[in-house]
Amino acid sequence: MNRKALRVLVAVALVVTLAVGYGCSAAAEAAKKAGVCWYQFSDTFISNARQTLLNIADADKTIAVTDADSTNDQTVQADNMSNFFTQKVDYLVLNNINMGGISQIVNQCKEKDVTTIFANTTSPSDDDFANYEKLWYVSSDSRQSGTNMGKAIADYIKNNPDTWDRNGNGKLDFILLQGMPTFSDTINRSTYSLAAIEEAGIALGKCIGGTDVTGVKGGDTVNGVICDFSRSEAQENVEALLANFSKDVECVIADNDDEALGAIAALKAHGFFGSGAYIPVVGVDATSAGCEALKDGTMLETSLNNPVKLAKCIYKVMKLLDEGKDVTTETMGFDGVAVEGHRVWINYTSITKDNLADAAYDITDTTIE
């Protein structure tokens, strides 16, 4: 095969690779390489974090970033990891979806001697961190987002004592839309929201579509309606529930904005909002579409899970390690970010229509110093 033909084949192979779920920064001259396994490119929050991380790598040129779409499939994510191991990346960033296999994954990474960052997912255990010194974790504290949702619902009830109890049973009957099962964000957002409502002195009634609960504590197991953070899944499920329980629904607690927006679409289709009854809906992420819903009054509250800050923190950890520096709250240097051992925590911000300006972020912002 002549050299010209070989160059053509290589170019075609590159195009095909990118088309099936891979992306990369333009920092080809970077000395170090990072492979990033996102759980799903189509997730609004992930899409923004992903693009920001690629932008930062392009601007900084210290670490070249290549990412892969796991399409919310554990087998696909495992294949993506294997591909990055084969490429001998220096850093593996994992937006993990295999919650039951965390320790096994850590052991794989240890065998490959690759610095590993679990990002925006369930944290490895203390034993996992003790087992591998090159293991890191970067994420928001999802307990905060759950508490924010619960407090917003409790405040709404206290401010609307004559209208919130639509069926007159004196208890809060609700729809709980959950993300991926066993994911820490799903567990924490679901349970800490309900715990905050009860702590405000409000009795929980029927968990419509799920299992009724009382005396909820953060981290408990609760069973709502699994929607996998999907807007379409949430809309379909809420529409089905409204067919039988439209007179009982008094609020919707959603584990992210996409689910909340799906619920809002279903509620609108059944005559809620506008001239109809108002149902408070809360979510998480403060996406642009979520903030528009805050503006028009169909969403009560969301929590800013800042995708730009997540991407900056991921890259900054890699850069500090590459420079041989300690990763501390001070060296990270971002407001609302704290380092505890090898865990980097990003604070949530509660967002309502009254402080929408606090939800602003810019995915073209590549400053990390």
The per-residue pLDDT for range 344-355, each reduced to its tens digit, is 999 999 999 999
Give the pLDDT band of residue 251 (cuts 50, 70, 90): very high
Helix pair 142-159, 184-199: axis angle to 10 deg: 30
Residue 203 is classified by DSSP as P
**pLDDT at res. 27:** 57
Residues 55, 49: contact at Cβ < 8 Å?
A: no
Helix pair 307-322, 44-60: axis angle to 10 deg: 40
Q: What is the pTM of this model?
A: 0.81
Give the pLDDT band of residue 28 (cuts 50, 70, 90): low
Give the pLDDT band of residue 30 (cuts 50, 70, 90): low
Q: How far is CA 97 from CA 59, 122, 305, in A?
A: 29, 9, 18
List of domains in the chain: 3-140+307-347 (3.40.50.2300), 143-304 (3.40.50.2300)
Give the pLDDT band of residue 12 (cuts 50, 70, 90): very low
pLDDT exceeding 90 applies to what percent of the chain? Answer: 88
Beta strands 22-24 and 63-69, pairing class:
antiparallel
Q: Which residue has the tokens 């709502």?
A: 224
Q: What distance separates the 2 farthest-apart alpha carbons in the chain?
A: 81
Q: Is 111 helix (H, G, I), strand (E, B) or coil?
A: helix
Average of per-residue pLDDT values in the chain: 93
DSSP string computed for 267-326: HHHTT-STTS----EE-SB--HHHHHHHHHTS--BEEE--HHHHHHHHHHHHHHHHTT--
For 307-325, what is the mean pLDDT? 97
Query: CA-CA distance, 222 to 217, in Å (whole number)?
Result: 10
**Dihedral angle over CA of 251, 234, 78, 104, nearest 10:** 30
